[in-house]
């Protein structure tokens, strides 16, 4: 794989970062048909949500009820923030707690650039990571815009989690809140605002005239659920497993919709019925692309002491858990020691023996 050296992003690291070049995935027209869309206001929403989470682990949600004005205001304020000089971005978001070192069990809150996590991953982006459970130091208008937006998206996340439970067959008025209650009030909700500037260096092109660089490397999200909204700039891709091969598929940007991701934790809670899908962001996949991508992602996680094990109400008679029991606190601690692209659930999977071997 080729590599490209880029210098124009404000750099919080003292060396030049070499970001790998990536080949383009399959054509846009074919890709569009592979991404499920769910109209959240339709009577069949619960079934459609569950079907999408079982199949792809990802879907586009329309008629979601989050006013477009909240996203527009946040986008304008975030763009203004990212246009500030590097030193202002660093200083306005400096928190009182020190940045976590390698292998830490928490994200580096506040402003960051190029470095993703603390284990050596890099991407062509700058970002803000905020915890909804703690106060952040931000310019006043951005803070207000984020507050209003995340209040609405948190509500949407709760509704989607209820639809997921219902679609899994958990139907009672109280019972179907089982996933929603795990996230609400957990103090483990994060919001991340990612800004991907257009590349500043001449790009090499392959034979198809198509190449890009890593904006955000491939990974799955560790929490239960992620809800993403972006501007019109493309770049988001999911890894779809087809009969015998996995292929990267472009997700066409749609500022009027939310994109919902199943997280690793939800995969375990459903004993593998729902799947956390790998995704990544490629910068400038289109020829001559000059636009910045701005995305805002809400991550809903459970409380640190929450036991993560398949929901008893889902398990069929004789069904065994595919994972050993753990708490979110334990999973998070392990996740923050990994590289972005690692298979984080691997160490928690149990080897199920076929019945004959188990008896022997």
Ligand X SMILES: O=C(O)CCC(=O)C(=O)O
Ligand Y SMILES: C=C1C[C@]23C[C@@]1(O)CC[C@H]2[C@@]12CC[C@H](O)[C@@](C)(C(=O)O1)[C@H]2[C@@H]3C(=O)O
Per-residue mark of binding to ligand X, 278-297 (x: CB under 6 A): -x-x-------------x-x
Per partner kind, with CB cut-offs from 5 to 8 A, the member of ligand Y, Fe ion, ligand X, none near residue 222 is ligand Y
- Least Å distance between CB 349 and Fe ion? 21
- Asked if 264 touches Fe ion (CB under 5 A), the answer is no
Phi, psi of 192 (to 5 degrees): -125, 130
Nearer to Fe ion, 116 or 165 (CB): 116
Question: Who's near 271: CB < 8 A, 6+ residues apart?
Answer: 310, 314, 315, 319, 321, 322, 323
Rule CB under 5 A: choose which of 75, 77, 166, 221 binds Fe ion: 221
SS3 content of the chain, % helix, strand, coil (to 5): 30, 25, 45
Tokens of 323: 């994972």
User: What is the CB neighbour count within 10 angstroms for residue 40?
Assistant: 20
Residue 236 is a binding residue for ligand X (CB under 6 A): yes
Span 250-279, contacts to ligand X by CB under 6 A: 279
- Quote the least distance from Cβ 175 to ligand X, whole Å: 30
> How many CB atoms neighbour CB 77 within 10 A?
21
164/190 with CB nearer ligand Y: 190
Least distance to ligand X, CB of residue 236, Å: 5
Q: In the beta sheet, which residues pair with residue 44?
A: none
> How many angstroms separate the CA atoms of 360 and 357, rounded?
5
Least spacing, CB of residue 312 vs ligand Y, in Å: 27
Closest CA to 76 of 136, 139, 124, 125: 139
Task: Indicate whether 221 belongs to the interface with ligand X (CB under 6 A).
Answer: yes
Handedness of CA 102, 323, 57, 49 (dihedral sign): negative
Taking CB under 6 A as the binding criterion, the range among 63-71, 168-176, 228-236, 345-353 that sits at the site for ligand X is 228-236
Binding site for ligand X (CB under 6 A): 192, 194, 216, 221, 228, 230, 236, 279, 281, 295, 297
Binding site for Fe ion (CB under 5 A): 221
């Amino acid at each position: 794989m080729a590599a490209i050296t880029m210098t124009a992003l404000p750099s919080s690291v003292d060396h030049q970062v070499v970001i790998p070049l990536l080949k383009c995935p399959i054509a846009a027209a074919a890709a569009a048909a592979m991404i499920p869309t769910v109209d959240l206001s339709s009577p069949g929403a619960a079934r459609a949500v569950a079907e999408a989470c079982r199949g792809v682990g990802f879907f586009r949600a329309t008629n979601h009820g989050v006013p477009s004005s909240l996203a527009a205001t946040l986008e304008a304020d975030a763009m203004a923030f990212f246009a500030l000089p590097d030193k202002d971005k660093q200083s306005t978001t400096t928190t009182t707690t020190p940045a976590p070192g390698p292998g830490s069990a928490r994200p580096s809150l506040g402003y960051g650039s190029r470095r993703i996590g603390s284990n050596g991953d890099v991407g062509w982006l700058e970002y803000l990571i905020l915890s909804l459970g703690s106060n952040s130091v931000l310019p006043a208008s951005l803070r207000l815009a984020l507050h209003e937006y995340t209040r609405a998206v948190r509500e949407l996340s709760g509704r989607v989690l209820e639809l997921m439970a219902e679609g899994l067959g958990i139907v009672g008025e109280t019972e179907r809140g089982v996933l929603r209650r795990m996230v609400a009030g957990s103090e483990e909700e994060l919001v991340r605002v990612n800004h991907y500037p257009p590349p500043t260096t001449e790009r090499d092109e392959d034979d198809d005239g198509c190449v890009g660089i890593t904006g955000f490397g491939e990974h799955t999200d560790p929490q239960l659920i992620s809800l993403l909204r972006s501007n019109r700039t493309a770049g988001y891709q999911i890894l779809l497993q087809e009969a015998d091969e996995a292929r990267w598929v472009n997700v066409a940007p749609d500022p009027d919709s939310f994109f919902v991701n199943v997280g690793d934790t939800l995969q375990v809670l459903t004993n593998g019925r729902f799947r956390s899908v790998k995704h990544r962001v490629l910068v400038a996949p289109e020829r001559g692309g000059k636009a910045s991508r701005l995305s805002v992602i809400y991550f809903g996680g459970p409380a640190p002491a929450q036991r993560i094990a398949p929901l008893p109400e889902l398990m069929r008679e004789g069904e065994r858990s595919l994972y050993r029991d753990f708490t979110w606190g334990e999973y998070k601690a392990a996740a923050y020691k990994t590289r972005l692209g690692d298979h984080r659930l691997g160490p928690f999977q149990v080897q199920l023996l076929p019945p004959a071997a188990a008896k022997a």
